[in-house]
């Protein structure tokens, strides 16, 4: 599986890179929405993990851009926000799931990756 993570937190990128490498998935990370969108336009990932709070653009705006490029790309929002407003809006805009920071790797492996695998096998 080709995974793109767009998150400005270098520590999150490193943790996810190690996790996905252990699961034998191809990983690419970017720290800005602009770089993430450019990457998607060149080489479509199987799934995008997208931070809601990016420095150059709101993650919800980035989500809409991703869906305009390819509606079928599953997008998992990543957030440290405690309020539900942005998460609810992300689901309305087409996000398939939400991963809260600090990352619960058991939830990531047993729920999110399973859901992505089912979607990709359809």
Q: What is the mean pLDDT of the chain?
A: 94
**Sequence spans of domains, the chain:** 2-120
Supply the pTM of this predicted model. 0.95
CATH code of 2-120, in short, is 3.40.50.2300
Residue 121 confidence (pLDDT): 87
What pLDDT sits at residue 122?
81
In the chain, which residue ranges form alpha helices assigned H by DSSP?
10-22, 33-42, 59-69, 85-92, 105-107, 113-120
Top pLDDT among 82 and 23 is at 23
Residue range 21-41: average pLDDT? 97
In order of 36, 42, 56, 115, the CA distances from 98 in angstroms are 18, 25, 21, 12
Residue 83 pLDDT > 80: no
pLDDT the model gives residue 119: 85
**What is residue 120's predicted lDDT score, i.e. its pLDDT?**
86
Residue-level pLDDT at 82: 72
């Amino acid at each position: 599986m080709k995974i793109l993570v767009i998150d400005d937190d270098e520590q999150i990128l490193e943790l996810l890179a190690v996790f996905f490498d252990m699961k034998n998935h191809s990983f690419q990370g970017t720290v800005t929405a602009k770089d993430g969108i450019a990457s998607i336009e060149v080489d479509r990932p199987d799934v995008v993990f997208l931070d809601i709070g990016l420095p150059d653009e709101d993650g919800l705006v980035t989500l809409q851009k991703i869906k305009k490029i390819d509606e079928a790309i599953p997008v998992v929002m990543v957030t440290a926000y405690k309020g539900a407003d942005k998460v609810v809006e992300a689901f309305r805009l087409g996000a398939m799931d939400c991963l809260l920071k600090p990352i619960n790797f058991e939830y990531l492996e047993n729920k999110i990756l399973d859901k992505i695998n089912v979607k990709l096998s359809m």
